[in-house]
Structure 1
Amino acid sequence: MRAIILAAGLGLRLQQPPGEQFPKCLLRFDGVSLLERHLQMLEAVGVDEVVLALGFQPEQVEAELTRAGRKVPEIKLNPRFDLGSVLTVHTVADALTRGGDVLLMDADVLYDERMLAALVAGEHANRLLIDRDFEAGDEPVKLCLKQGVPIELRKQLAVGLDYDMIGESVGFFRFTEAAARRFAEIVAGYVDSGRANLPHEEAVRDLLLERSHAFDTADVTGLPWIEIDFPNDVARATKEVLPQLQRPALQEALKR
């Protein structure tokens, strides 16, 4: 199994002072960067092949990996990181299509390791994570199910959409080899048609709605996590999420 970590963006909504901006994956919580947490937890569940999709200040990310004593994993650069994440995913098309199950993960998430365990459980699955306890509004990417089947994945839902479960998508996806290849084709179509500025969730949505590959969902409601986009998310991550994370022993290992 291979993990692709999307960490190319500038993170403008964090409102970092000009000249002091750095990739969000290098945000530290209890002295440990988000990137290092990702790598440690992926190792813990047996995922040892990692591809980093970088764009903004990749040298800072490489320096952090060196500082942490880590071998620098495979890196793919998106020089137009100012565009949408569809283009970033397109830069890692080779990693999507070289075989085996693939995890596609946003880098700016602080999360409990049980969420990752739910994502990788079993063999050869297409899987999404859903959290039914979420704040209403336009920011969360909503995942809607009808009789267990994903029928929508968007921030804004059509009026009258018929579903029997709704939650927030965590932003981690698992694809089988065949589904990953089809996803890469859809992403390429976005780029070729001038839609590279869109979020990659739109391409995931297309894959879901064409029903060519069955997806299951893992319900992670109640587990602590947060996607970090705004300054108040950093505060919430520190005060609310970090103290709830499972396995203090792992957290101590992360700090060493």
Structure 2
Amino acid sequence: MKALMLAAGLGRRLFGDENTELPKALLKFGGQTLIERHIQCLLDCGIDELTLIVGHRSEDLLAEVSRVAPAGFVRSTYNPRYRQGPKHSLAMGEDVLRGGDDVLFMDADVLYHPGLLQTLVGAAPANCFVIDRVFQSTDDFVKVCINDGLIVDFGKSLGDGYDIVGEWPGFLKIAPDVANRVADSVLGFIARGEDEGAYEDAFCEVMKTSPAGTFGYEDITGTPWVELDYNSDLEKAATKIMPLIDGLRD
């Protein structure tokens, strides 16, 4: 299994449109950067390789990668269109998506207990979301909607009327055939000039055009995690999530 992580963005919601701050993957918690935590978790899960899509202040991020990652474990790809939205970053991972391996997709701006990733990697479904039934975010988050045990919708701004609605932390595992279709989907969006908006559109399109049951899910409710989009998330990470992560490790 190979990992594909998007870490190219400006972090507009946290730092503004003219951000000159370091990438969010270099935020530190408990003396470690997020990227260092990611890499350690991936190594512990037996992942073969991480492809890191970089853009904003890529030199700083890659310097940290060189410091913390074993030689040859991380491969970087620069997205020259990182200011144009995350679909371009997902498209830059085309070679991974078409590489014939299982793919672990990850957002870079998430602080989490290692058990979250271990649960996903070890899950039985070949194509698997993780969900949290207790919403951790207050605005602009992605939902996974389930009826009769099957995922029926995925994205933002979804309605009610589902058996289960969970928040998606930004991690997904997909089999080679589905990964190839994700590449087709995101490149199709870009070719049609629909490159604005969330990269989740590609995952949703593939999910909705797949036979029922193609995608499964693992419920990680109770596992500490937070996506770092706003200043309130940074405060939550430092005061609530890190103590929980440290407590579970003890």
For residues 51 and 176 of structure 1, the distance between their equivalents in structure 2, rounded to whole angstroms, comes to 16
- Measure how far apart 1:136 and its partner are: 7.4
Question: Contact 1:138–1:156 at 8 Å: present in 2 too?
Answer: no
Spell out, residue by residue over 1:42-67, the C-alpha distance to the aligned partner (whole angstroms, 9 max, x if none): 10010131100111111001111233
- Which residue in 2 is equivalent to 1:41? 41
Letter of the aligned partner of 1:206 in structure 2? E
Q: CA deviation at 1:123?
A: 6.3
Residue 164 in structure 1 maps to residue 180 in structure 2: no
Structure 1 unaligned residues grouped into runs of 5+: 250-256
CA distance in 2, matches of 1:220, 1:167: 10
Residue 85 (structure 2) aligns with: 84
Deviation at 1:78, TM superposition (A): 0.8
Larger mean CA deviation between 131-140 and 202-211 belongs to: 131-140
- With over 3 angstroms needed to count, the CA separation of the structure-2 counterparts of 1:114 and 1:135, relative to structure 1, is closer
Question: Contact 1:103–1:173 (CA<8 Å) still a contact in 2?
Answer: yes
Q: 1:60 to 1:136 in 2, by over 3 A?
A: closer
Structure 1 distance, partners of 2:119, 2:90, is 23
Deviations 1:125-154 (Å, cap 9, x if unpaired)? 100011000157542211110111111112
Shift, 1:202, TM fit? 1.1
221 and 53 in structure 1: CA distance in 2 versus 1, 3 angstrom threshold:
same
CA-to-aligned-CA distance 1:17-73 (integer Å, 9 cap, x gap): 977511110000011000010000010010131100111111001111233364362
Any conservation in 2 of the 1:26–1:35 contact (CA below 8 Å)?
Answer: yes
Query: Matches of 2:58 and 2:16 in 1, distance apart?
Result: 17
The amino acid of 2:208's aligned partner reads L
Following superposition of structure 1 onto structure 2, how do residues 72-111 of structure 1 map, counting pairs within 5 Å?
73-111=74-112
TM-score, normalised to structure 1, is 0.90
In the TM superposition, structure 1's runs of 4+ consecutive aligned residues that sit over 4 Å from their partners are: 16-20, 135-138
Separation of aligned partners in 1, 2:91 and 2:18: 29
Question: Do the aligned partners of 2:125 and 2:217 also contact (CA within 8 Å) in 1?
Answer: no
Worse-matched range after superposition: 36-45 or 60-69: 60-69
Contact kept? 1:24, 1:107, Cα under 8 Å: yes
Counterpart secondary structure, 1:170: coil
Contact 1:101 1:124 in 2 (8 A): no
Extract unaligned runs of 5+ from structure 2: none
The alignment yields a C-alpha RMSD, in angstroms, of 2.1
Work out the CA distance in 2 between the residues paired with 1:173 and 1:155.
16
Q: Is the 8 A contact 1:105 1:171 kept in 2?
A: yes
Residue-pair matches, total: 247
- Are positions 1:206 and 2:205 aligned together? yes
